[in-house]
Amino acid sequence: MHYIIDRIESGIAVCNCMATGEDIEVPLSELPPRTKEGNVIKKTDSGYVYDAALTKKRRTDLTARMNRLFASSGS
């Protein structure tokens, strides 16, 4: 399953499951180095791994959505 890092509080990452919308809490010590809010991670048999491609796609999609929103509100 894929999760989005929603926020990090006191050494705990609150992660939102992309499939179900459910939130889970994961200790930062179990996540890849340099984990930050907005990153997409994938749960594997050996732990969590950073999904660079999906993170980039998601950020690109969000930027495009925001640009469309602001462009339409400026009229």
DSSP category for residue 32? P
Burial 5-14 (b: 16+ CB within 10 A, else e): beebeeeebb
Whether 5 contacts 18, CB under 8 Å? no
| pTM of the complete model | 0.84
The model's pLDDT over 3-36, given as tens digits with 9 standing for 90+, comes to 999 999 999 999 999 999 999 999 999 999 999 9
CA distance 53 to 36: 15
Residues in the chain: 75
The CATH class for the domain spanning 2-73 reads mainly beta
Whether 25 contacts 14, CB under 8 Å? yes
